[in-house]
Copies of this chain bind each other. A is one copy, B any other.
Amino acid sequence: MTPDNLDRERWERAALDALERGGLAAVAVEPLARALGVTKGSFYWHFKSRADLIAATVARWERLHVDGPLQAAGAIDDPRERLMELLGRAGAKPPSIFIRLLDAVDEPVVRAAVARAAQERVAFLAKAFRELGLTPARARRQALLAYSTYVGRAHLARDAPELLGDQAALSRHIAEQLIG
């Protein structure tokens, strides 16, 4: 036992990088093998198939970029500050991996993960808005609105960045409008 999995890990890291840079199409066996300086022989030792690698990559993203940040923000007591943290961070570093995944929802594994992420994030936001005193229904709608802006901004950051102008000012504007 104790499979130290260190080379499998290497493949997974490379896959996540490739996803960010070239989309899911770049999470392909032969290109990755070239990038890693090995051949497919290695890959098919560590993974059952390309689908297997994709599943692992998506799961990795979910751990690192969905559950992680949500747990971190959950440690903040004040709901207003918690929201600021989440919506502010959205402005700072545009989550390009996320958009790459949205580009690939035709893959059922990806669609499932993306849907789960949306569900968790909206629920998290809704809870914060409830703590701010909004009614449950209103809090949920406000959460959907906030999450929509998050996704939309990520898109603009990638596809029309020159449009965004002063990011910090926009972040303040959005926070003011949505959190109040």
Q: Tell me, in angstroms, the Cα distance from A153 to B122 when the chains sit together.
A: 13
Asked if A8 CB lies within 8 Å of chain B CBs, one says no
Interface string of A160-180 (1 = CB under 8 A from B): 101111000110011001100
Q: Are B163 and A152 in contact (CB under 8 A)?
A: no
Majority DSSP secondary structure for residues of A touching B: helix
**Chain A residues within 8 Å of chain B by Cβ, number:** 42
| Chain B hits for A115, CB < 8 A | 159-160, 162-163
A149-B145, A152-B152 are known contacts. Are A158 and B122 too (CB-CB below 8 A)?
no
* A151, CB-defined interface residue at 8 Å: yes
A103 proximal to B (CB < 8 A): yes
Is there contact, CB below 8 Å, between B159 and A102?
A: yes
Chain B residue with the shortest CB-CB distance to A101:
B159
